[in-house]
Chains A and B, each alone.
Chain A
Amino acid sequence: MLSLPIDIQPKDAVKEIKEINDKITKGLEFLSNLKDEDVDIGTAPKETVYTEDKLKLYHYLPTRDDLLGTPLLIVYALVNRYLVADLQEDRSLVRNLVNEGLDTYLIEWGDPAPADKYLTVDDYVNGYVDNCVDFLRERHGVDKINILGICQGGTLATCYSALHPDKVANLVLTVTPIDFHPGWDPENPEIGLLFNWGKGVDVELMVDAYGNVPADVLNFTFLLVKPFALNFGKYHDMLDILDNEKAMMNFLRMEKWLFDGPDAAGEAYREFVRDFMRDNQLVKNEKMIGDRLVDLGNLTMPILNCYATADHLVPPHCSKILGEKAGTDDYTEMAIPSGHIGIYVGGKSQKMLAPGVAKWLRERT
């Protein structure tokens, strides 16, 4: 006869529930004294140096004298907010870059309103990004600047660099999808799942129905990849930190970032899902932006391609394919042992990503 493998004795259950109870009580007393603004993210000192429509170009205030002469422009994704690059003081890509002596700028896209629903990828790449680049070239008196792309922002930065190689000195990419068809690994079905879903979505109907695609819809899709772990599991685990204010604040910052994304401008979203995710035009050198072909062979500037080894959203090979396609003869890869988000907020990567980027850039400037 099988014995019951669940052996939770009454005294153990009482003890466990008491512990949970104590933690919840403590944790909620702490939570009940918090205001939303106490959960501070994006605190690295900065100034706005350029605006256009809803876009703001931030300049992060330098902390040392020996700045690298060429400014670095960070291009963030169109989904979620840039704040993951500056989540908290000790987990901040931008602070780390600034502390490495890089004169760092970042584009915040702002929240698309219904009136922005017609913005296309062309408007983002050849409009906003190009205007920011021109602004920085003028501001710093240089012909070319350095660009760092984050996730989808890396895809946009890649397109931009291929279309305007004369304005880009060095291109740094982080967890950037270039090949959107990751295939399917039966042993690890979650790897590349979002891209596989994206291929099947009737994005035409979706954008027609929504206009701008709501952030909640995008969030829901992210959560669906691991519905139990992401909707329940992490809150179970949160019990372990409920009585630890520092850990709780870190947790809340991440929650704030996760659930406070902007809507996605409809036409750009349609174009991105259709041309990049479904038809995989970028890696095939078939993507047209405006009236010009994005030819990865035009990427003749030095490229540093940083990927996360445990990235299930953008599997490493979806990024690394760039090494075979880019026209440059100065191509470097940097592997960070983390997941997709961990590359920016993980403890280990704080000591790896920004220092690695800075070292690589200094060697080329």
Chain B
Amino acid sequence: MADWTEQAEQMLKTWTEAQKNVWDSWQDLAGRAVGAQPKPQAFAMNPMEWFQQSMSLWTDPAGVARDAGRQVFGSQFSMMRNLELLTRAWQLVTPRLDAGQDWRSPLSGFTTDWFQQITGMSGNMLEMSKDTQALWQSYLGEWGPLLKPWLSSAIEATGSGHLGEMMLGGAGLNRLLTMGQDDLQAGPFAGLAEIPSMGVTREHQAKILRAFDAFVDLRKVMLEFNKMTIGAMNKAVETVMEALVEKGKTGEKIRSVRDLNRLWLESADKVFTRMYASEEYLKAQRELSAAGMSYKLMQQEVVEMLLKSLNLPTRSELDDAYKTLYELRKEVKALKKTVREQTKPVMETPAIETKPTAQTTETPTIEAKPAAQNAIKQVETKTTAKKVPVRKKTAAPAEPAS
């Protein structure tokens, strides 16, 4: 038993050390490329950020090459992480397999922890609901200074360690406490905006609280969606383990990190694609999308309120202007078309003939020999036309041009 555990550990160690050589080379490369470069120690803190800084120094900052380079580099990280994940998972699975015990449940727990650690997701819904202040602060974090005029009392209340019951009341708390539970629709989820408020800022506060409602709803469906994603990740790891077990039985070996990685990517894609086609996923996707869009719309309402207070044009006002512009443009085009039809000369003018040019790879693209504002003007009008005969034929058989 210790045999393969040792082997797995040794393999991970070897790979990690070898990979470290890559990073060292990268730093050398960065040093050669430019004088100024991100500090090497930054790499240890956050390799991806370090890499991005380096690449932006070497290449066109907006370039596709930089993006591709970043992706390659990122793929090395994911390859290493996948190797570790699969090796650790295998270490967990095999003793249970050998003993004829259930291995799927412990594997599921392991992979859930693994992905939560990687993504920084909190799997425990109630952990979050215990900390309603954090959620409220997080929401205010987006708006705090801007909303101060309307929410000063609430911000003070939150800052002092109280949630500001005058705004959130029991309804808000319940809403958060039930996050992640199945009977979401049945609970006392009266919208926060329905809590009566008073005074001249009432309407403003109502908008802000409606946005908070949408913010909470979005977090709620995101957690559901994430649970589903982690479930699919678990399933993907399980699928790879099954494939490895089969290989173990037949003595087939995976001899390179890239081959192992390929097995992982293919298995994961299959699991995810299957999930995508399920009704459960489609529902979760619909809800996530709707919650995201609703929150965006609520955000816009709050922004409009702020813009109005500063006497700046709002999106609604701009939309009105766009609509007017669109309608006017259509009308002008229709009028021009009518005028053109009415003023068409009876005399024919010759049609433009296209002269062939030699094809050469060096020929520069001829761009915008600017057509007239309305290009119809550019070409002398002509009414005739040589008739193009339309031949009727019986349907031809499928013609695979292979």
Contacts and interface: CB of A to CB of B under 8 A. Distances in A.
Q: Do A and B come from one complex?
A: yes
Contacts of A59: 354
Contacts of A215: none
Nearest to B277: A189
Nearest to A258: B64
Contacts of B251: 3
Nearest to A64: B356
Contacts of B227: none
Contact of B388 (A12, A56, A169, A242): A169
Given A46-B366, A336-B401, A255 B68 contact: yes
Interface string B370-383: 11001110110110
B356 A67 contact: yes
B318 interface: yes
Interface in A49-107: 49-53, 56-57, 59, 61-65, 67, 69-70, 89, 95, 98-99, 103
Interface string B266-306: 10110011101100001001100110111011001000000
Nearest to B247: A5
A333 B67 CA distance: 39
A116 B329 CA distance: 11
B37 interface: no
A186 B355 CA distance: 54
B276 A252 contact: no
A36 B64 contact: yes
A127 interface: yes
Contacts, number: 374
B72 A239 contact: yes
B248 to A, nearest CB: 4
B252 A5 contact: yes
A200 B384 contact: no
Interface residues of A, number: 131
Interface string A325-353: 00001111111110000000000000011
A141 B351 contact: yes
A63 B356 contact: yes
A88 to B, nearest CB: 11
B199 interface: no
A251 interface: yes
Interface in A1-29: 1-10, 12-14, 16-18, 20-21, 24-25, 27-29
Contacts of B248: 2-5
B392 A330 contact: yes
Interface stretch (B15-23, B104-112, B172-180, B183-191): B15-23
B297 A208 contact: yes
A2 B249 contact: yes
A25 B370 contact: no
A42 B365 CA distance: 9
A131 B340 CA distance: 12
A201 B289 CA distance: 7
Given A10-B14, A118-B326, A65 B356 contact: yes
A224 interface: yes
A221 to B, nearest CB: 10
Interface stretch (B42-50, B90-98, B145-153): B90-98
A193 interface: yes
Contacts of A144: 388, 390
Contact of B244 (A5, A61, A352): A5
A140 B390 contact: no
Contact of B277 (A46, A62, A196): A196
B386 A141 contact: yes
A229 B64 contact: no
Contacts of B322: 114-115, 117-118
Interface in A298-339: 301-302, 323, 329-337
Contact of B400 (A53, A260, A334): A334
A67 B356 CA distance: 9
A191 B3 CA distance: 44
B301 to A, nearest CB: 11
Nearest to B229: A227
A292 interface: no
A49 B370 CA distance: 7
Interface stretch (A172-180, A230-238, A279-287): A230-238
B374 A52 contact: yes
A47 interface: yes
A47 B366 contact: yes
A1 B393 contact: no
B268 A228 contact: yes
Given A6-B90, A31-B59, A197 B365 contact: no
Contacts of B273: 189-190, 193, 225-226
Contacts of A1: 1, 98
Interface string A247-281: 00001100110011000000000000000000000
* Interface-centre pick from B282, B322, B359 (highest chain A CB count, 10 A): B359
Interface string B328-355: 0110010000000000000000111011
Q: Which 9 A-B pairs have the closest CB atoms?
A: A141-B351, A17-B18, A50-B375, A5-B247, A32-B58, A189-B277, A63-B359, A36-B63, A10-B14
Given A1-B1, A18-B18, 4 more contacts: A25-B29, A32-B69, A202-B293, A329-B392
16 contacts: A7-B253, A8-B14, A8-B257, A28-B29, A28-B58, A32-B69, A46-B365, A47-B366, A47-B369, A65-B356, A123-B330, A143-B388, A196-B277, A209-B296, A210-B293, A236-B258
Interface of B: 1, 4, 7-8, 10-11, 14-15, 18-19, 21-22, 25-26, 29, 33, 55, 58-60, 62-69, 71-76, 78-79, 86-87, 90, 94, 97-98, 244-245, 247-249, 251-258, 260-262, 264-266, 268-269, 272-274, 276-277, 282, 285-286, 289-290, 292-294, 296-297, 300, 315, 318-319, 322-323, 325-326, 329-330, 333, 350-352, 354-359, 361, 363-371, 374-376, 378-379, 381-382, 384-388, 390-396, 398-402
